[in-house]
Amino acid sequence: MGLRKPLSTEYGDAYAHYLAAPPEGDLLAVLQAQAGEVAALFGALTEAQGAYRYAPGKWSLKDLLQHLSDGERIFAYRTLRLGRGDATPLPGFEEDDYAAAAKADARSLADLLADFRAAREATLTLCRSLPEAAWDFKGTTSGKQITTRCIPYIIHGHAAHHLAVIRERYLPGLK
């Protein structure tokens, strides 16, 4: 399967920051490699480092990893719904409410990382299963029109965004 990069007419402005620099090459291979990047980064942390917050009121690194898993599942669900031709408008989600309810700091980094890996693998399996025509379907998520093909690119952009934040704001404080 060769997912072509989405055009700006296939999504609303709310998604533009995740789609601004789509990766080159086979997107599913890129997503697989990104899972390795997440595993390498979080797998190198101690439990104490996983609880690190760069400022009061900010998420811990464990919260961020849980957020990546939650976002992955929500975006994959959107991919499934649109990929099956379901035009029912899909709501957004409040990430801070999800983070508070998840209680990620009570989980081990190994457990959180295994959860992320499982979510990413399920996303990849789903994407590989969709017929070519499914990628052109247009539906509504968070009040914005979007094609199915955009969502895996958003998954990549969402994780890339948070990995950049981790490197910029979290990792310097861990040294």
Interval 80-100: pLDDT, tens: 999 999 999 999 999 999 999
Question: What pLDDT, on a 0 to 100 scale, did the predictor assign at position 117?
Answer: 98
Q: Residue 147: helix, strand or coil by DSSP? A: strand
How large is the average pLDDT for residues 52-81? 97
The CATH architecture to which 26-174 belongs is: Up-down Bundle (1.20)
Going from N- to C-terminal start, the domains of the chain cover: 26-174
CA–CA dist 175, 169 (Å, integer): 12
pTM above 0.85, yes or no: yes
Within 20-94, residue ranges assigned H as helices are 27-43, 47-50, 61-83
Question: What pLDDT, on a 0 to 100 scale, did the predictor assign at position 149?
Answer: 96
CA–CA dist 14, 119 (Å, integer): 24
